[in-house]
Amino acid sequence: MPSPEAHPAWLETALGRRCLANEQHVVRQALDRVFGEQLLQIGAWGGRKDFLRHARTQHAAFLGLHAEDRDADVAGSAEQLPVATDSIDAVLLPHTLELTEYPHALLRETDRVLRADGHLIVLGFVPGGPWGLRHLLSRDGYPHGHRRMIREGRLRDWLTLLSFEIESVTPCCHTLPFERIRRFGRLPRERWARRWLPFLAGSYMLCAEKRVHRITPIRPAWKRPRLRAVGGLVEPTTRASRTPGVASGE
């Protein structure tokens, strides 16, 4: 099992700080549209307030999945979150699916605790391009300690099976996956690189909404009221009123 100690060390590098700053920016834009009572961040990535400080909900809490997450408001496991069903308005998973041993179980638990029309924000690293290549060539994964990189398309499939509706996907951290950035000279700014160098995207943010499809019960055919037929025609359910002053045809 990878050590959680590797993540803070990587985030202290020039590349880690740039990546975290870019992710904070896009997450802040996403949280500006999320309201309600409770936001829950599951898993540590950066400091405790790096993402939660941008919450627009009434409350925001951090749930840690490791004993080393000392700043967590509550601790739990990915397979069984200590959270009541249908009690959370929004969930943030900052690279948590890549770091946990049970990503499918965590998604099922996330679906359970989210309320109907609740929001889900996921941060993940791009498995293609230079970042994916660096991950494949690294003995301990990349960034260090990551078990996997999850393709955006695969994550879409997982969430669709859970009845989530994908709202948007935003690429970010457009740079080369090298900690000592100065060695390669001055790299392009994020906004410029996002437009002209999309293949350099190192991570992405996916936003989805939980949809609950209400089922309208259909009355069985044998319980439906039958219309009586007279002379091969259906008998009207109400009698036509006679117009005053008009003969009844007698």
Instruction: Copy the structure tokens of residue 248.
Output: 């009844």
Identify the CA nearest to 198 among candidates 145, 143, 139, 130. Answer: 130
CA angle 46, 49, 51 (to 5 degrees): 75
Instruction: Copy the structure tokens of residue 157.
Output: 């499939």
Q: Which of 185-189, 192-196, 219-223 has the highest mean pLDDT?
A: 192-196
When pLDDT is cut at 50, 70 and 90, the band that residue 141 belongs to is: confident
pLDDT at 134 over 70: yes
How confident is the prediction for the chain on average, in pLDDT?
Answer: 83
CA distance 46 to 50: 6
pTM: 0.81
Length, in residues, of the chain: 250
CA distance 38 to 119: 11
DSSP element (H, E) containing 105: helix 103-113
Q: Is 235 helix (H, G, I), strand (E, B) or coil?
A: coil
pLDDT digits (tens, 9 = 90+) for 121-130: 999 999 988 9
Q: Is 128 helix (H, G, I), strand (E, B) or coil?
A: coil
Class of domain 6-210 as given by CATH: alpha beta
CA distance 73 to 204: 26
